[in-house]
A and B are shown apart, each in its own frame.
Chain A
Amino acid sequence: MTTNSNLQRVLESGGFAVTAECGPPRSADPDIVIKKGLLLKKHVDAVNVTDNQTAIVRMGSLAASALLKSIGLDPVWQLVCRDRNRIAIQSDILGAAALGINNMLCLSGDHQSFGNQPHAKNVFDLDSMQLLGAARDLRDSGRFIYDSFEIPPAARPGLFIGAAANPFADPFEFRAIRLAKKIANGAQFIQTQCIFNLPKFTKWMKAVRDRGLADKVYILGGVTPIKSAGMALYMKDKVAGMDVPDEVIKRIKGAPKDKQREEGVKLCVETIQKLRKIKGVAGVHIMAIEWEEAVPEIVEAAGLR
């Protein structure tokens, strides 16, 4: 199904898509979102809006997506299963579409023990697979979960639906199977975990192609510019699902302190250029965590614009 998504348009026309992440603030200040949005606007095809990432309370991803939409960006609204049951999820999907949001990304969500509300009760009524299926069914058949009511075709939520994949998590052999399941449940595009370990990513992409999956879904390789050796170490040890090989840490450490950012950007650009050459990679997703200013430079240096 074709939606009004700019991201879908770019991908379907065969372009190499570029998206970037925009983390909402830990406040009610809309200007922070707008400022980040304006910074990214001319450089990306869509902006990903994170949903209380690492379980730290932030401005809601739907509200921030609507703010970005209002200044002409194409937001990718992220939605996690941690905080909402199926009632809230389906209701938010309808609301998002009504606000003109065209893309959503379905995620399980980081466990609340990571964040600033470790005493919270989590939900996980649905998992990310079931969330994908629910979003697809609302869009394609107008059906709510286990309900015979049907939304009239013109009023169904026309969203371009995505999911995440982590090629670096275990068990490795299951990762391509899991991707196949996500596609079967409606995933049209995939955003991967940050890629620092290219050999492993390449191996995963081969498994994905061997299963014929690269033709069924648009895969956006996730990249993150490293700000400092400290950040690299932190990601390696503290961030769930990250694979930061020692060579990467060594390379950033090898640069003088005031040149580490530069080296991080360089490494990121190199990774993008390598990703472009891998068959089946349809674009990149740049996650410059609290460093959105780096995105225009990376996009330009990688020759993406």
Chain B
Amino acid sequence: MIVGERKPFEEIQSLLRGYKKILLAGCGTCVKVCFAGGDKEVAVLASQLGIANNKAGVKARIDQVTIERQCENEFIDEAARALNGHDCIMSMACGAGVQMLAARFPHLPVLPAVNTTFLGLLDKQGMFLENCQGCGDCVLGRFGGVCPVTRCSKSLFNGPCGGSASGVCEIDPSVPCGWQEIYDRLKALGRLDTLEQTEPPKNWASARHGGPRKLIREDNIL
């Protein structure tokens, strides 16, 4: 899923400075699961803003809506129905959701309340890990199901660098070395031989480096 984290309150306040009728728009998909921008987080932010505004003597109306999926146009109708003279929308979705709202409501400022951080998974309660950078050409099949692009700090393809020690990466002892994980997985699978092959330079054009990407599914076009 897409993992995000709500921005610090001070940053949110400074983004909202001057607006009087604010619609907080949450999303019920990924950011809800990672506790960054679902209905609960929308309610928390609304009350935080209300308290701060009261204290400061600022008069602003804060309304709430949480859309099933902010990155899909059909769900945005819900947001459209909730709009009622608002002078800005603060989206609590991932960056895709924010941009969807911005495209749909070109005359309204749409502001982000969440820092979209990565594609990952819930490792254990309260800890999410990055697993995929959407490189567009998945190589997990050759690396024991551990992504070298993402799980290695240097995105190395031909084995661990000289900084790998006791299972952790040279950049920080709290970061596992992705290559130790690849090695252990392939060893358990009896496929260490694959590591003797040289991986040639990767084609990064399918990743972000080829410019903004677009996916066309002819079979889905109506």
Q: Is the CB of B183 within 8 A of A133?
A: no
> B156 — which chain A residues lie within 8 A by C-beta?
108, 124, 127-128
> B54 — which chain A residues lie within 8 A by C-beta?
none
Q: Which residue of A lies closest to B157 (CB)?
A: A127
Q: Which residue of B lies closest to A182 (CB)?
A: B158
Q: Is the CB of B157 within 8 A of A130?
A: yes
> B177 — which chain A residues lie within 8 A by C-beta?
170
- Segment at the interface with B among A62-70, A150-158, A173-181, A291-299: A173-181
Digitize B134-175: 1 where CB-to-A-CB distance is under 8 Å, 0 elsewhere.
000000000000000000011111111111111100111000
Contact sample, A vs B, 11 pairs, CB 8 Å cutoff: A86-B201, A126-B201, A130-B201, A134-B201, A169-B164, A171-B164, A171-B180, A181-B196, A184-B198, A241-B164, A241-B165
Contact among A129, A169, A181, A184 for B162, CB-based, below 8 A: A169
Sorted nearest first, the 10 A-B pairs with minimum C-beta distance are A166-B162, A240-B170, A129-B158, A240-B163, A241-B162, A127-B156, A178-B159, A241-B163, A130-B201, A108-B161
B75 interface contact, C-beta 8 A:
no
Give chain A's interface secondary structure class: loop
B204 interface contact, C-beta 8 A:
yes
| Contact surface of A with B, Cβ cutoff 8 Å | 81-82, 86, 108-111, 113-114, 122, 124-130, 133-134, 145-146, 164-166, 168-171, 174, 177-178, 180-181, 184-185, 193, 240-241
B195 interface contact, C-beta 8 A:
yes
> A110 — which chain B residues lie within 8 A by C-beta?
163, 170
Contact among B157, B163, B164 for A129, CB-based, below 8 A: B157
> A82 — which chain B residues lie within 8 A by C-beta?
154
> B160 — which chain A residues lie within 8 A by C-beta?
169-171, 174, 178
Q: What is the CB-to-nearest-CB distance from B108 to chain A, in angstroms, rounded to a whole number?
A: 32
Q: Which residue of B lies closest to A164 (CB)?
A: B162
Q: Is the CB of A181 within 8 A of B154?
A: no
Q: What is the CB-to-nearest-CB distance from A107 to chain B, in angstroms, rounded to a whole number?
A: 9
Q: Complex formed: what's the CA distance from A113 to B155 in Å?
A: 15
Q: Is the CB of B201 within 8 A of A174?
A: no
Centre residue among B161, B172, B177, B195 by max chain A CB count within 10 A: B161
Q: Is the CB of A170 within 8 A of B198?
A: no
Q: Which residue of A lies closest to B153 (CB)?
A: A111
Q: Complex formed: what's the CA distance from A164 to B196 in Å?
A: 17
> A108 — which chain B residues lie within 8 A by C-beta?
154, 156, 161-162
Q: Complex formed: what's the CA distance from A133 to B158 in Å?
A: 12
Q: Is the CB of B161 within 8 A of A113?
A: no
Q: Which residue of A lies closest to B165 (CB)?
A: A170
B200 interface contact, C-beta 8 A:
yes
> A241 — which chain B residues lie within 8 A by C-beta?
161-165, 170
Q: Complex formed: what's the CA distance from A96 to B178 in Å?
A: 34
Could you tell me which residues of chain B, from 163 to 213, have a CB within 8 Å of some CB in chain A?
A: 163-167, 170-172, 177, 180, 183-184, 195-196, 198-201, 204
Contact among A146, A169, A170 for B201, CB-based, below 8 A: A146
> A178 — which chain B residues lie within 8 A by C-beta?
158-160
Q: What is the CB-to-nearest-CB distance from B155 to chain A, in angstroms, rounded to a whole number?
A: 5
Q: Is the CB of B164 within 8 A of A170?
A: yes
Q: Is the CB of B201 within 8 A of A125?
A: yes
Centre residue among A126, A185, A193 by max chain B CB count within 10 A: A126
Q: Complex formed: what's the CA distance from A29 to B45 in Å?
A: 55
Q: Is the CB of A171 within 8 A of B198?
A: no
Q: Is the CB of B183 within 8 A of A171?
A: yes
Q: Complex formed: what's the CA distance from A109 to B195 in Å?
A: 21
Q: What is the CB-to-nearest-CB distance from A59 to chain B, in angstroms, rounded to a whole number?
A: 24
